[in-house]
């Protein structure tokens, strides 16, 4: 019991809910074990939780949104935000794992014949040598609008991974500089 109290006294108010859940799961296995075994189980659970949480990376580049427009006579398409080499600017050109921001934008497509407009948003990250998978992106956020990677439509082609959300926007048409929060694995 002394080992358990010693270890548990090291858990701080900053210990996350996920870490505590891991500890709770180990506690079920923990019952009926010797003090040393209990201590080792708790240490393993704590460090496993830390490793799990440490895998997520956070990016916070600043974007100054730009704009581009195209029309075929019937449909007008506007992109607001950032596209590398085309419009908008980002304070950082790469993520912490050296992947390139190819684009982060809101798209508005309006049809003049049937008087409808569709909105979508997307993020594109390039520089991959293999498909990172949909789960690489946890979420992206701008202007308080958060898009969950799990709910996105995912695509990978020629070293560029993209996540798209239909019927949703970040709000880049405000043209106000914003900090982008990007969480990924």
For the chain, the three-class secondary structure string (H helix, E strand, C coil) is CHHHHHHHCCCCCCCCHHHHHHHHHHHHHHCCCCHHHHHHHHHHHHHHHHHHHHCCEEECCEEECEEEEEECCCEEEEEEEEECCCECEECCCECCCCCEEEEEEEEEEEECCCCEEEEEEEEEEECCCCCCCHHHEEEEEECCEEEEHHHCEEEEECCEEEEEEECCCCCHHHCCCEECEEEEC
- Residue range 136-174, pLDDT digits in tens: 999 999 999 999 999 999 999 999 999 999 999 999 999
- Residue range 49-81, pLDDT digits in tens: 444 444 689 999 999 999 999 999 889 999 999
Residue 35: what pLDDT? 61
Residue 36: what pLDDT? 57
Q: Please, what is the average pLDDT of the chain?
A: 82
Q: What CA–CA distance (Å, rounded) separates 169 from 118?
A: 10
Residue 38: what pLDDT? 58
Full-model pTM? 0.70
Section 30-48 average pLDDT? 52
Q: Quick count: other Cβ atoms within 10 Å of Cβ 10? A: 10
Q: What CA–CA distance (Å, rounded) separates 26 from 145?
A: 36
Confidence of residue 114 (pLDDT cuts 50, 70, 90): confident
- Residue range 118-136, pLDDT digits in tens: 999 999 999 999 999 999 9
Q: How many residues does the chain have?
A: 185
């Amino acid at each position: 019991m002394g080992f358990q109290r010693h270890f548990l006294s090291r858990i701080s108010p900053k210990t996350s809910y996920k870490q505590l859940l891991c500890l709770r799961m180990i506690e079920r296995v923990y019952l009926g074990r010797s003090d040393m075994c209990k201590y080792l189980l708790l240490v393993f659970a704590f460090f496993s939780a830390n490793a799990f949480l440490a895998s997520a990376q956070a990016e916070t580049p600043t974007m100054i949104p730009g704009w581009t427009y195209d029309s075929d006579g019937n449909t007008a398409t506007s992109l607001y935000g950032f596209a590398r080499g085309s419009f908008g600017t980002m304070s950082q050109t790469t993520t912490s794992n050296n992947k390139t921001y190819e684009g982060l934008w809101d798209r508005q497509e309006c049809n003049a014949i049937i008087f409808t407009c569709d909105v979508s948003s997307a993020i594109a990250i390039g520089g991959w040598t293999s498909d990172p998978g949909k789960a690489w992106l946890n979420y992206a956020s701008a202007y308080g609008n958060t898009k969950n990677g799990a709910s996105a439509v995912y695509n990978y082609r020629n070293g560029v991974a993209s996540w798209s959300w239909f019927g949703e926007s970040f709000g880049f048409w405000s043209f106000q500089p914003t900090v982008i929060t990007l969480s990924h694995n």
